[in-house]
Structure 1
Amino acid sequence: MVLLPALIRGDAVMKRRGSFALILSMLVATFSVRMAATEHPDLTGERLVVYISFHEEEGRRLLDLFQVRTNVDYTYLRIPTGELVARVIKEASAPQAHIILGGTADAHQLLANEGLLEKYVPSPAEHIFEKFRSPDHYWTGIYLGAISIGINENRWKREFEGQGVEKPSTFEDLLNPRFKGEIILPDPRTSGTGYTLLASLIQLWGEDEAFAYFRRLDQNVGEYTTTGFTVAQKTALGEYLIGINFIHDQLLVKKSGFNLSSTIPPGAGWEIGCVSMIKNSQSSSAAKAFLDFMTDREAGQLHTNLTERISTRSDVMTPLGAKPWAEIPINLDYDLYLAAKLKTKYLKGWEERVLRIN
């Protein structure tokens, strides 16, 4: 039996943290020395509820540091982006959380379009480029990520090396019939990663060409996952040869010791991962303080260290093994606002034209 490294496990359960491990204390002490001091309010007696849409361990570590800084009491729930959006919409009349941490900007923008997010401008956000922030102040980008092709190098060497098969480096390369059943993708109906892949290729190629492509690619797909990170996990473990998800997830499992290579294909879609405040929730002082905290350099550097993501702050170091954002061959014309506006249409097309669900 293969045991997953602790770093890549996660459970979608509500958890309350009251004590801190020694490693966290050492990490906080290190950050206290290396980072310039930032004023944080005393939130003793305040309670913060956070919906997390990236890896649970990373969210918990950030919340633990915020608790050290403010004495706030917190609770969190980790759920995939698509389910998170549906939950916030369902709870609109009586919000059950204050903060959405992580998830693609199109998901946050969809909730903003529905009138479910509160406007707020975190003071540290002045150090984040405007194009990575909501112009209407509903969400703030904290990290960036590009769609990437991940390959299990152990399996490739064992099964394909010397057979005249080129490693896939473009989206079209994934249609090779030799890869039948060996590709794993995130489901765009539940995963923000999957929806970014779908929406970006529709915008790049047009609906007819994109859906025709996904219909052909479906013949090679062995599994659609609920979350994007599961793609990196299962590819790293060798359950699948090829996985398509965000490059930072692939770099994270590679950092954990797995032999996974990554290639960002030309015209790749990309995300702005965001943080936002849910409208009409209580504890607004704690929520605003958390937004300030998450957009500051200290949290930005910790987040990058934990996740291999590229920060939206220029004063946070780029992860080792990641290219600077300006050198990545992404589709610069990808429009997240259009992706948010047309999400229902795009997903209906996915079900009817790719999965053939009527």
Structure 2
Amino acid sequence: MSFRDNLQHLRASRNMTQEQLAMLLGVSRQSVTKWEAEKSYPEMDKLLKMCQIFDCTLDDLVQGDLTACEASSSPATVPAGPPTDICGYDEHQRMMAWKVPTGISAILVGIAIGLFFEGAVELASWDGRDALFVIIVLVGILAGLAFLVPAGMDHAAFQKAHPYVEDFYTDEDRARARKAFSGGLIGGIACIVVGIGFLFVFEKAAENIALFFLLFFIALGVWNIVHWGMLLGRTNVAEYNKTVAEDLEFEDLMTAQIDEARRKELLAAKRSNQKIGAVCGAIMLASTIVALVMLFAPMGQADTWSWGDFNPEGTTAMWFWVAWVVGALLCGIVSVLMRAFAKDEAPKNTSDR
């Protein structure tokens, strides 16, 4: 008797769908489908988990004949005992909590170093900006992307392989994460305050040094806040499961073995997310264009613009990053409003049916 036959019989005898088994194992439904089609074979940790779920030995599951076993009408449940991280979720999230803030901080540090060395070497200028500054900033952006792009690809692959994760964090784990985030948040804000202090101290004596320390300490503050914030967010496994379900393709949702009400809910949420994503994408694209114009265009030169008594020296290019901040705020506002209107329309659609 084959493993496939045993698995199909054990699952059917307990009225368990492929999706339910996938949830218990922390894998995708497609993985279970491939096992039962003999297109792939589960890893050892998944086999051992199945032995716990179906109350059988590994030899019987893999090589024995379990089709003669008496059918069980009991619901599918995870065996007694505390839940465990069987798919490496915690390790993955900790890796993300290092790579993402490091990538963001690398870009900020690149800008800081560029401002520090601007004008140190005689190079050609690009639209009023020192070429050395532009080169260093681009290197910083590349360094940041070297962390952010692989992290994003790894996270997408992990979500696809593990669309559902059983919550294994305890109340003590969440309490420690909240405490650590509080310390990281305070430390991050302190770093930003120190950077602002350097700006006031060195602003008149050495503007380049003032801007360098300002952005350097902002980078440290951002790293702390994002890092500890992501470590706190990882303990919200329910939000992870919700997000992954919303990110599944329409084809996956249509073929998933879930009840019709849940399917309609996920399809509606996905359509709403696509609309929000399209609007936010347009906003951030416009923000990027504005930022690039502020960085490279010969605009806002000294004595050409002022706000009352405030007449800054240099160019507005040093503030090009503000465009992304404004864009992100607009995206947040649009997302909140669109989700609120979507919720208001839901009862009307239900009543119409």
Asked if these proteins are the same fold (TM beyond 0.5), I'd say: no
Normalising by structure 2, we get a TM-score of: 0.21
Normalising by structure 1, we get a TM-score of: 0.21
- Larger % of helix: which? 2
Relative contact order, higher structure (CA 8 A, sep 6+): 1
Larger Rg: 2
